[in-house]
Structure 1
Amino acid sequence: MADTDKHAAQSKRAVRAFDIRTIIGTLLGIYGVILLLMGIFASDSDLEGSDGSSINLLTGITLLVVSAFFLTWVRLRPLLVAEGEEDASDAHIE
């Protein structure tokens, strides 16, 4: 009984890891952190073309907010997989 519970928990984690919302949220978060850091450490010459506002800083903050939305969405509304449903890679066509 414990083996089936462990297998079910592992398969649920695998489904959540390959959910497109997780991938998009993670990538947006990585890009957001990079742009946020570039905006914080911007030199005066970087700000000349943008009327004094840091576009990298604003875009980084926006990307982090959108990333948080996607990752929260995954947590609140996880994918549901039927218990006996077979994977397409496990099906054998003869």
Structure 2
Amino acid sequence: MSLLSKILADIRTVIAAVLGIFGLFLLICSGFLNGAEEMAKTGGVNANLWAGIALVVVAVLMALWWGVSPGDSGKGSGDSPSDPGAHRQG
């Protein structure tokens, strides 16, 4: 399995990419499309900016989680009864 296939097969990288894209979109929207009318709708809070920052932070954390443990996706832990490598008693 190639490196690109391993990266795309892990759900953490897919989620991190999607959240990062949404976050960047919201940050761009907050920079270019934010006006007095939008600020009045949210009570003076730049909601796109804060939501975009939060999504980018979560995306970075998910990417770091994958980077720290790229092979730990729950497979081969030995705790599952259906795991053929698990030791059986009795």
- Name the TM-score, length of structure 1 as normaliser: 0.69
| 1: CA distance, partners of 2:53 / 2:45 | 13
Q: Name the counterpart of 1:58.
A: 50
Contiguous gaps of at least 5 residues in structure 2: 77-90
| 2: CA distance, partners of 1:13 / 1:24 | 15
Tell me which of 37, 40, 43 is aligned to 1:45: 37
Residue pairs, 1:1-94, within 5 angstroms: 10=2, 12-41=3-32, 42-79=34-71
Contiguous gaps of at least 5 residues in structure 1: 1-7, 83-94
Q: Name the counterpart of 1:4.
A: none
- After superposition, the CA RMSD in angstroms is 1.9
- Name the TM-score, length of structure 2 as normaliser: 0.72
| 1: CA distance, partners of 2:35 / 2:65 | 36
**Percent of counterpart pairs with the same letter?**
30
Is the contact between residue 16 and residue 79 of structure 1 (CA under 8 Å) also seen in structure 2? no
Q: Displacement of 1:16 after TM fit?
A: 2.1
Task: Indicate the SS of the match to 1:26.
Answer: helix
* Residue identity in the other structure for 1:23: V
- Structure with the higher helix share, 1 or 2: 1
Q: Name the counterpart of 1:92.
A: none
Q: Give the ranges of 4+ consecutive aligned residues of structure 1 lying more than 2 Å apart after TM superposition.
A: none
State the number of aligned residues.
Answer: 73
